[in-house]
Amino acid sequence: MMKYFYNFLRVLTGALFIFSGAVKLNDPSGFAIKLDEYFDVFADDVATVQDSVKFTIYNHDGVSNSATYTLYTFDNEKNISASVSGDSASGFAVRWQYGNEMYLESEVELDSNTILQKAELVLLKENGDKQLLTANFEIDTIKTKNWTVQLNTYIKEQSALNGFFKSCKDYSLYFSVLFCALEVILGFALVLGWQINWVLLITALLIGFFTFLTFYSAYFNKVTDCGCFGDFLKLKPWDSFKKDVVLSVIILFLILFRKKSVCLIRENKADGLMVLFSIGTLFFGVYCYQYLPVWDFLPYKVGNDIKYVMENIPDGERASDSIEIKFVMQKGSDSVKVDIKGYSQAVKDGFKFIRQDRKLIIEGYKSPIHDFAIYDQESGTDLKDEMLNFGGYQLMFIAPFLNTMDTGSLRDMIDLYHTSQNKKWAFYALSSSSLDPAKQFKEKYRLPFVFYAADQKMLMTMARYNPTLYLFKGSTVIKKWSGNNLPSVEELSAIK
């Protein structure tokens, strides 16, 4: 009886691994985005804490302006704007205090005709050594000062671990395919009962790794969805951790009683089957990256009316969060915490408001499409409503990052753009790039269309391959193509 139970549990666990790995391998770009989140979290958690810079302006009447600026690891410079009080200020002193061991100070003389002046700020250290830092003072009026200060000198060197996790982001897509494929392959090996000793050892290491990730996410509330089942099923961090704990117990059981395992087919045939299955699994992952997911679980899947998805609140869901609000009130050394009903009475009793505490009781419904936006960066116009309320066909060419975009399809895209214009279709090219890089990209490839701006996360959700082309009828997704498989002009012309 024990033997049958063991092999049933082994096959069931293998099937779960195949399912979990397959739904992620179906969308390797999506799981790569999730890995990027983890790498960013780890990099931040091991980052060297940077100091802040205190900035003070003195004029003849005393302190005119003071502020403290935190230095971040990605900072190379700070853009500072400040006002000098006093109608007749003819000069002022600037002091930069860095941590507790050094400061910068310089006197700057002004006259009413000054437009641009440069000054050298001297960095004084405790040991008496001096370093020079040049700052450009750009003066609009006698009152307003704007300048940029280079901060490279003051940024502390990051730890090797910080650099390691940051560099891992360059390989997230490769990790995604390999990890997901490994999960599927291990699951298939468990189902067959092939090389059970090695398979269970590798599976235990993989489960141990995922259990650590889900615990880290849940305990520190760092990554709110582990991506265990991709976009097919989203689990909250603690639910993901509990699932991995159960799997860990099962794997431990399978290891302890591994002698009861039975291989479903002869070992020499199982070897060849495992090789073929492994090659096919890796091919499937690469195919889904190059030509978009086979099973689309994304909110922008074909058939979805994105306007409806944005506005619709399913039955049984709350339209907004339910929040408990408490007011902290103080009178002398006495303090109380009251709700809205007790607030008025507390005021009458002489208590003064200190702060407001808000506690989430029930989370309201959050649409899977909540960040859809289209902006014309030159005019500042929001084109979202224009797109959502248009009744005809619309093409949307999406390239989340222009600097890493596969440009091999651009010539075909130009032909498709002209075809869409001849058919009087609306056309939008979207990117997260800022205005100048988008203009330079347009000029470099002589594109007849401009790029509008959109949220980076939204674009990465829509375009699992960079670039991706969408066809809408109104606000409903009719079809979408990877940049590797764009439709022909004839195919597009045939759409009525």
CATH number at residue 464: 3.40.30.10
The answer to whether residue 8 scores a pLDDT higher than 50 is yes
Confidence (pLDDT) at 21:
93
Tell whether 24 is covered by a domain. yes
Tell whether 298 is covered by a domain. no
The answer to whether residue 196 scores a pLDDT higher than 50 is yes
Whether residue 64 contacts residue 57, with contact meaning beta carbons closer than 8 Å, is answered with: yes
CA distance 114 to 291: 60
25 vs 71, higher pLDDT: 25
Token pair of 73 as six digits? 């690891």
Sign of torsion over alpha carbons 330, 335, 341, 346: negative
Contacts of 307 (CB under 8 A, 6+ apart): 388, 389, 474, 475
Confidence (pLDDT) at 434:
87
- The predicted-structure confidence for 443-457, as pLDDT tens digits, reads as follows 999 999 999 999 999
Same-domain status, 74 and 36 = no
Whether residue 190 contacts residue 7, with contact meaning beta carbons closer than 8 Å, is answered with: no
Tell whether 63 is covered by a domain. yes
The answer to whether residue 62 scores a pLDDT higher than 60 is no
Tell whether 486 is covered by a domain. yes
Whether residue 97 contacts residue 56, with contact meaning beta carbons closer than 8 Å, is answered with: yes
Confidence (pLDDT) at 141:
39
Same-domain status, 485 and 394 = yes
Predicted TM-score of the model (pTM) = 0.74
Same-domain status, 137 and 187 = no
Confidence (pLDDT) at 471:
97
Same-domain status, 60 and 31 = no
Residue for token pair 């979408």: 480
Same-domain status, 274 and 329 = no
Confidence (pLDDT) at 149:
54
User: What average pLDDT does range 297-324 have in this prediction?
Assistant: 88
Confidence (pLDDT) at 264:
82
Same-domain status, 256 and 331 = no
Tell whether 296 is covered by a domain. no
157 three-class SS:
coil
User: What average pLDDT does range 284-295 have in this prediction?
Assistant: 95
What average pLDDT is seen over the chain? 81
Torsion from C-alpha of 382, 388, 391, 395, nearest 10 degrees: 80
Same-domain status, 385 and 353 = no
pLDDT above 70 covers a percentage of the chain that reads 77
User: What average pLDDT does range 329-345 have in this prediction?
Assistant: 86
Sign of torsion over alpha carbons 306, 232, 172, 239: positive
Same-domain status, 132 and 187 = no
Confidence (pLDDT) at 89:
43
User: What average pLDDT does range 1-18 have in this prediction?
Assistant: 91
The answer to whether residue 19 scores a pLDDT higher than 90 is yes
Same-domain status, 146 and 40 = no
DSSP state of 478: E
User: What average pLDDT does range 357-362 have in this prediction?
Assistant: 81
pLDDT above 90 covers a percentage of the chain that reads 47
Confidence (pLDDT) at 238:
84
Strand partners, 426: 394
490 vs 144, higher pLDDT: 490
Confidence (pLDDT) at 467:
95
DSSP state of 472: E
Tell whether 301 is covered by a domain. no
Greatest mean pLDDT range, 149-163, 223-237, 264-278, 356-370: 264-278
Tell whether 96 is covered by a domain. yes
The answer to whether residue 206 scores a pLDDT higher than 60 is yes
Same-domain status, 334 and 470 = no
Same-domain status, 285 and 331 = no
CA-derived radius of gyration, the chain? 30
User: What average pLDDT does range 52-73 have in this prediction?
Assistant: 59
116 vs 266, higher pLDDT: 266
Domain count, the chain: 4
The answer to whether residue 335 scores a pLDDT higher than 60 is yes
Q: Which domain holds residue 106?
A: 52-150
Strand order in the sheet with 62-70: 62-70, 52-59, 91-98, 102-109, 116-125, 130-139, 144-150, 77-83
